[in-house]
Chain A
Amino acid sequence: MHTITLNGETDFDGWRKAARLLAMNGVAPEDVTWRVADGDEPELFPATLDVPLQEMRGTFNVPAHFVDLAQHVILHRNPERFALLYRMLWRLRSNHDLLQLSTDADTSKLESMAKAIRRDEHKMHAFVRFREIGREPQSHFVAWFEPEHHIVELAAPFFARRFADMAWSILTPDLCAHWDGHDVSFLPGVDKSMAPSSDRLEETWRTYYASIFNPARLKTKAMQKEMPRKYWRNLPEAGLIKPLIEKAERVTSEMIAAEAQEPKKPQRREDAMARSHSIAPTEYPDDTSLAALRDEAADCRACALWKDATQTVFGEGPKHASVMMVGEQPGDREDLAGKPFVGPAGQMLDKALKEAGIIREKVYVTNAVKHFKFVPRGKFRLHQKPATPEIKACRPWYEREKALVKPELVVAMGATAAQSVFGKIVPVGKTRGRVIDLDDGTRVLVTVHPSYLLRLPDEEARATEYANFVEDLRIVAAHLSEKARAA
């Protein structure tokens, strides 16, 4: 039988040194007794070994996770911890995967002990309450805390990071931590009487605690689960818990029984809070009638699409643009920004316009359907194609926009846009790339939607289709320059 005496309750290095030596000498866990030196004893390890152990060279491997686990578990108050850790170390040498086996009794026990330590550390971070001695800037903040386990050294760095600019001390029965603005030092535990018993802010804090509590939702079990009673002793607000609970039921029933108020006439409201529906000051100051139309469309409820979307995405561009480009519907980014063609498809369009020699700011850009249609999938919104009733419901907005802008050429991008512009389903493939005159005098050019280009999987097809798209836009460009010459 070997007796190992460690230097203190949290002597991880001593344990580690002894455990390595024991294991390399093949000493079975049942043949070891672990103890902690009580203050006055000189350092005893390894003098009490019954059989001298060979100091051996070399080392052996354990999973990295074990070291972290052991460093936590050793802080537990359970006196069995040193033996349990040594048994685990012993077993790990022949079964390297043991720590992944949550169903193993030792693994499970170590995990729950480590969890208790982390929880206690977390509670210490939360429930330490400093009391001020003296007044700033000369003040010293002192707390009294009674941790469940030996966690003072583990928890102290947190306070050093947080309260670097003030002098503080945390006193506990086991060990005290002191911060001087540069380093944390540890001194032996003290008695509670050493700690200050009040603070000038405590009454204010208790006022806050009492006021933030909603008596209509008493849930004392939930409270106790997170703030176990063992911590209450040192929380200035805990004394309020009992009276608050007692009062709660009375207050709530009085509140429910009370005669409800006849709604008072609210005072003013018109002045500053008159809500403006305008989305952003428009960059085209002369389009008052378009702005009015935009405001009207912001409240459109003609189909169900408005419901799930953020906002109506109305068209944008100069009032008398000679070209009006019509897309399908806003996408994710357009929906958030409230502007058409600002997402990936918009960037594609910008690029193609530039290549065709068209200045985007000179064309009017809008969509056939003005709300984003989608289904939510976790953090994403999957774009959905608008259905015919939605295209029809939204068509009047397009028509009214067109009537105000009076473009000479409408560019319908994609099937949805074509359906809206022609008022019926038309195949994009067949009509694409030539200017068609409608009965009402509108001239229309049909092409693909830029998002179609984004969806093409293979690079070559994308390059070809993109080139075709730019070709179509050159027809628009030619139209524009013809117009410029005529002018």
Chain B
Amino acid sequence: MDVKRKLEILADAAKYDASCASSGTEKRDSRDGKGMGSTDAGMGICHSYAPDGRCISLLKILLTNACNYDCLYCVNRASSNVTRARFTVDEVVQLTLDFYRRNYIEGLFLSSGIIRSADYTMEQVVAVARKLREEHHFRGYIHLKTIPEADDALIAEAGKYADRLSINIEVPDEGSLKNLAPEKDVRAIRRTMGRLRLKLDEAREGAKPTPRGRTAPRFAPAGQSTQMIVGADSANDATIIKTSANLYGSYHLKRVYYSAFSPIPDASRSLPLRAPPLMREHRLYQADWLMRFYGFDPDEIVGSESGMLPLDMDPKLAWALRHRDRFPLDVNRASREDLLRVPGFGARAVQRIIETRRISSIRVGDLAKLHIPRNKALPFIVLPDHRPAVHLLDSAQLAERFKPKAKQLGFAF
């Protein structure tokens, strides 16, 4: 089988993993002329976008799609009939270097089906990173998938080469993981996340400048992340958000990726096939932001009996509609925390408001310059030249105003 055909199979097998970021690592470059590549400390770069709207920043592939496990949601499960392939270590290294030189990618995201044993699989994954870093002095981004319960020395080595490590929690509810992925053990996954966090903490402590210099070895400077599949089991949004809050708090994850369960070829009969709940996935990302950047408590984000986020409006708007008594808010006076809760006010807009209002008061005409959508925000705010009609905030129609008109999803050529 030639490399191109393997790439076809092993990229296809990797496309269900939502992680794509190449951000948040240390700053590196190759000006010493000894190797190739660079990374920025801040933003990563997306080199392309696929028609599924997702960013392509890394060569995202599996080392092999052969797997001992039989997870029902997974196209690579042992009982699936997909064509199997396996890259050699050298093939992955060459492909990464060739793509990188042409500026197609920021680096490599390598994952693998589990073959032989956790240690064997992890060793193969680490071998690719070792070769890239040590033999080719590759300075680009490397994200490795950690195999649960792999030997501690292998994990430490992975963290030495990788910018980011991840391990997927798979589904939000432990009970359903038992049914869907009988060989996977959520406890083992959590223990591995815990081990990663201890190592990350240690490296961070060691990185602080001391008279003796750095004390701890480098370990995955871009931290760890995870992915949760949404919609393959019956867990509701409240459960998902609660699980995420727990994971962020416990293991200091950089990101939790939500991946709408997607119809897969050669699916198992035990899973219902349906279109992926993309809007639900989108709402969960919004809820995740509210938690991480807007000071929302996980418990207050979902307000419905069903434990589900509304699909027809964003979760912040839905929250505001449930808490009308806290509005309208005087934009020229309200605290930062309160401003962050106004529908349509992004974190950047709030920052601008706070800087601007020190100098001059903000009026309706200014909203556009602050990039705030008028219609969304006006019912909730007071400005010198605007006060929402008293009955508006109380009216049942308010929610209706925000529901999107039925629109056609098209692609104009």
Residues of A participating in the B interface, judged by any CB pair closer than 8 Å: 97, 100-105, 108, 122, 125-132, 141, 143, 158-166, 181, 199, 201, 203-205, 207-223, 226-227, 235, 237, 241-242, 244-245, 248, 252, 255-256, 258, 260-269, 272-273, 275-277, 279, 298, 307-308, 310-311, 333, 335-338, 374, 376-381
Contacts and interface: CB of A to CB of B under 8 A. Distances in A.
B273 A223 contact: no
Contacts of B251: 336
Interface in B285-314: 292, 298
Given A100-B358, A165-B34, A336-B197, 7 more contacts: A126-B45, A163-B103, A201-B102, A204-B98, A219-B51, A273-B68, A380-B249
A60 B102 CA distance: 47
Given A103-B356, A199-B102, A205-B104, A217 B52 contact: yes
A230 to B, nearest CB: 14
Given A223-B50, A263-B270, A275-B188, A102 B250 contact: no
Contact of A379 (B99, B252, B273, B363): B252
B256 to A, nearest CB: 13
Interface stretch (B53-61, B213-221, B389-397): B53-61
B369 A102 contact: yes
The prevalent SS among residues of B at the interface is loop
Interface of B: 3-4, 7-9, 11-12, 14-16, 29-38, 43, 45-56, 59-60, 68-70, 72, 77-81, 95, 98-99, 101-104, 114, 116-118, 120, 149, 174, 183, 185, 187-188, 190-191, 193-195, 197-198, 245-246, 248-252, 260, 262-271, 273-276, 278, 292, 298, 352, 355-356, 358-360, 362-363, 366, 369-370, 409, 411, 413
A307 B187 CA distance: 9
A394 B33 CA distance: 60
Contacts of B366: 102-103
A202 to B, nearest CB: 8
Given A163-B101, A219-B53, A255 B78 contact: no
A221 B370 contact: no
A273 B409 CA distance: 46
Contact of A102 (B117, B271, B356): B356
A269 to B, nearest CB: 6
B194 A337 contact: yes
Contacts of B14: 212
A212 B197 CA distance: 30
Contact of B273 (A132, A207, A255, A376): A255
B360 A103 contact: yes
B289 to A, nearest CB: 13
Nearest to A99: B355
7 contacts: A129-B102, A129-B103, A129-B104, A211-B11, A212-B11, A237-B48, A261-B80
Nearest to A380: B249
Given A310-B194, A338-B191, A213 B249 contact: no
A199 B103 CA distance: 13
Contacts of A374: 249
A127 B249 contact: no
Contact of A216 (B11, B275, B358): B275
A217 B104 contact: no
Contacts of B246: 308, 376
B275 A273 contact: no
Contact of A161 (B29, B45, B50, B268): B29
Contacts of B36: 162-166
Contact of A131 (B60, B72, B102): B102
Contacts of A214: 15-16, 50, 52, 54, 262
